[in-house]
Homo-oligomer: A and B are copies of this chain.
Amino acid sequence: MELIYVIDIIGTFAFAISGALVASDKKLDLFGVAIIAFVTAVGGGMLRDVLINAHPINWIGDLNYLYTIFAAVVFTFLFKSKIAHLSKTMFLFDTIGISVFTLLGLKKGLSFNLHPIIALIMGMISAVFGGVLRDVLTNKIPLIFEKEIYASACLAGGVTYLSLNYFNVSENIIFVLAASVIVIIRVIAVKFHLQLPKIKDDLFTKK
């Protein structure tokens, strides 16, 4: 599936830029920016591969990830002020990247004969953990834990993928449908500021 590989690389590029932007806002030097861009882009897949013992892990087995991240750092260095005006494009790339990362991680988990629930978690780790690492390394509470419906979108997309897998539908169609679920939920969530509930009060707290 060549197209998915291309989207995987685009997603890597988008994630690397998002890491580079956060790092440069924190006034890290060029090297720090490159490291944060790197962990944001490949951190999720790296953790997944270490956990399921899939060696060589993602960026060790395929140098194109490193080249893509390098290009993203140079791109950010040259065009930082311009990128600010492209926030919608960036958001789109990022969202497509998330959806592809989720489904590729899930597929990899299934190909390692993991239980579907574990494969689903591997998909989510692939999509989410890079951003968590970015935030931990720049000393923030991971964004994902606070505001974004991001992880829930990945979960919904992964469940869609697994469910459709039981029916006699072509792999490609399932992939596109499940990816669309992730993209649509995230776009709607951001547009309408949807959030998950918090555990502030419980059923028995008096108002």
Contact = CB atoms under 8 A, between A and B. Distances in A.
Interface in A1-54: 20, 23-24, 26-33, 35-36, 46, 50-53
A79 to B, nearest CB: 6
Interface string A183-207: 0000000000001111111111100
Interface in A55-92: 55-57, 59-60, 63, 66, 76-82
21 contacts: A23-B199, A28-B141, A28-B146, A29-B146, A30-B197, A30-B198, A30-B199, A31-B151, A31-B152, A33-B198, A35-B144, A46-B51, A59-B118, A60-B114, A60-B118, A63-B118, A66-B117, A79-B204, A139-B139, A139-B140, A139-B141
Given A32-B144, A50-B50, A199 B114 contact: no
What range describes how many residues of A lie at the interface? 35 or more
A29 B140 contact: no
Contact of A32 (B23, B76, B121, B145): B145
Contact of A24 (B28, B138, B198): B198
